[in-house]
Copies of this chain bind each other. A is one copy, B any other.
Amino acid sequence: MSIRAVAEAAKASLPKLAKSTGAARNAFLERAAHNIKRSSKALVAENAEDVSSALASGHTEAFLDRLALNQSRVDGLVKSFLDVAALPDPLYGLEELERMASGLTVGRMRVPLGVIAFICEARPGAAAEAAALTVKSGNAIVCKPGKESAKSSKFLGAIMRRSLAEAGLPEDAVAVIPAMGREEILELVGLDDCVDLAIPRGGEGLIRMVAENAKVPVLKHYKGVCHLYVDAGADLPSAVKVIIDAKASRPAACNALECLLVHEAEAPALLSALAPELKNYRVAVRASKECMGHLAQLGEALTEASEEDFDREYLDLALNVAAVPDLDAALDHIRRHGSRHTESILTNDLANARRFVEEADASCVMVNASTRLNDGGVLGMGGEIGISTTKLHAYGPMGLKELTSRKFVVFGHGHVRG
C-alpha cells in the first residue's frame, strides 16, 4: 500500500472514530493491553531479532538498551495502555458555557484533530503508546518508528489493528510502517489533504528535516538546553540534591539539566559542596572562568567553557556551570542560550520566584524543583505524545487535550445578527 493510500485510509476512519463512544475507545485500550500481555513472549522474541540486527550494525550500548524489550518493559507497556484507559474521555464535553446578554449560550467542545503523522525513534513502545493517546482522543495515527525496531514495531502495529477491530473501531485508525525512508516520510508530511498534524520525535536532524519540509503543521522540540538558576539565599543542601537529580537521574532525557547558573554570592559554597557529588556521578564539567577554582577537585573532568558550549545539549553526564551577578543576568543567559524547554529557579525569594516564572521564556518554568519533573505523567496529564517548544497549539508536554481542538458551540432560539 502506498503512503497516500495508508493516509487516506486513516482519514476515512475518522468519521466512525469521531462518533465512537469513550467506552469503545477504552475497549480498544483494554483489548490492546490484553493482547500485548498474551503475546508478550512472541513480542520479546521479535524484539530480540531487532536487537541482534542492531548489534550487528554496530549500534551503541545506550541505543541497544532503548531498543530492547524484556518482560518487565512489556509489562510497563501494558500498564501504560490501562493508564490511558483510566483517563477521562477528552471528547465532546461542553466547556466554558456562558450565557450572553443576547440570550445566546456559547461554549466550547473538544473534538479530535484528525490524522496524526508520528515519526519516532527506535524505542519499540513509543509508537504503541502514541497510538493509545491518539485513539483515546478520537484521532487516527500513521506511525513511522525507527527502522531498527522494525520487527517489534510491526508486531505491535498488528496488535493495535486487531484490538481496534475487536473494539468495533476501524482498524485503519492505526498504521505502523517502520520501512519508510526519508522520501516517504516527506511524502507523508506533505499530504495536507489527509494529514492534520505531524509530531516528529528523535534527533534534531530528523526533526528539522520534517519541520522544514512538512506542508502540515508540526509540533516539536529541537532540543532541551535546560537551566537551573541557584539564587542568592537558596537552600544549598537541597540545591545539591536537585542539581544532581536534574543532571544525573537520566542524562539522555531532553529535560535533563545542561547548564547550572549560580548567583556569585553562593558560588563558592554551592560549588564546593557540589563538586564531590559531580565527581561521584562522573559528570564532566565545563565552567566559566570565575567558577574554575571552586570546582578544582574535579581534576581532569573540569575544563573552561567557551561561549559556544553554552548552546550545547549534552544528553550525557556533562554539565556547564556559570556564575551570574543577579537574576537579570540569569534571565539574560537563558534568553540567549535557552531552548524554551524547561527552566528552573532555586530560591527562597518570593519576588525573584515571581519574576523568574513570568520572564523565563520556556514551555515549563519551575520553582524549587528538578527540570526532570517536566513530564506529562508527573504534571498530571497521564501520558504524553511529545513535548512542544513552539508556542502554537501546545507548549510543553502534549497529552490527550493537546490532541484535541475546541470548536465553538452556540445555542440560540431563533437568534439573528440583524
Contact = CB atoms under 8 A, between A and B. Distances in A.
A242 interface: yes
A238 B197 contact: no
A62 to B, nearest CB: 19
A105 to B, nearest CB: 9
Given A249-B418, A391-B114, A414-B238, A19 B106 contact: no
Contact of A19 (B359, B411, B416): B359
Nearest to A357: B409
A302 to B, nearest CB: 24
A299 interface: no
A284 to B, nearest CB: 21
A358 B405 contact: no
Interface in A216-269: 217, 235, 238, 241-242, 245-246, 249-250
A310 to B, nearest CB: 18
A364 interface: yes
Counting every copy of the chain, the complex holds 2
Nearest to A388: B405
A350 to B, nearest CB: 11
Given A104-B369, A362-B407, A392-B393, A417 B378 contact: yes
Given A357-B409, A409-B357, A415-B369, A106 B245 contact: no
A106 B357 CA distance: 12
Nearest to A212: B215
A367 interface: yes
Interface string A360-376: 01111111111011110
B369 A109 contact: no
Given A217-B392, A357-B109, A378-B417, A412 B249 contact: no
A406 interface: yes
A179 interface: no
A367 B113 CA distance: 23
7 contacts: A15-B335, A15-B359, A18-B359, A111-B361, A113-B391, A369-B414, A369-B416
Instruction: Please give me the 3 A-B residue pairs with the lowest Cβ-Cβ distance, nearest first.
Output: A369-B412, A245-B416, A391-B405
Given A92-B358, A242-B416, A362-B407, 18 more contacts: A102-B378, A104-B379, A111-B361, A113-B392, A114-B391, A238-B414, A366-B410, A366-B412, A367-B410, A369-B414, A372-B417, A373-B415, A373-B416, A393-B393, A395-B405, A395-B407, A395-B408, A397-B408
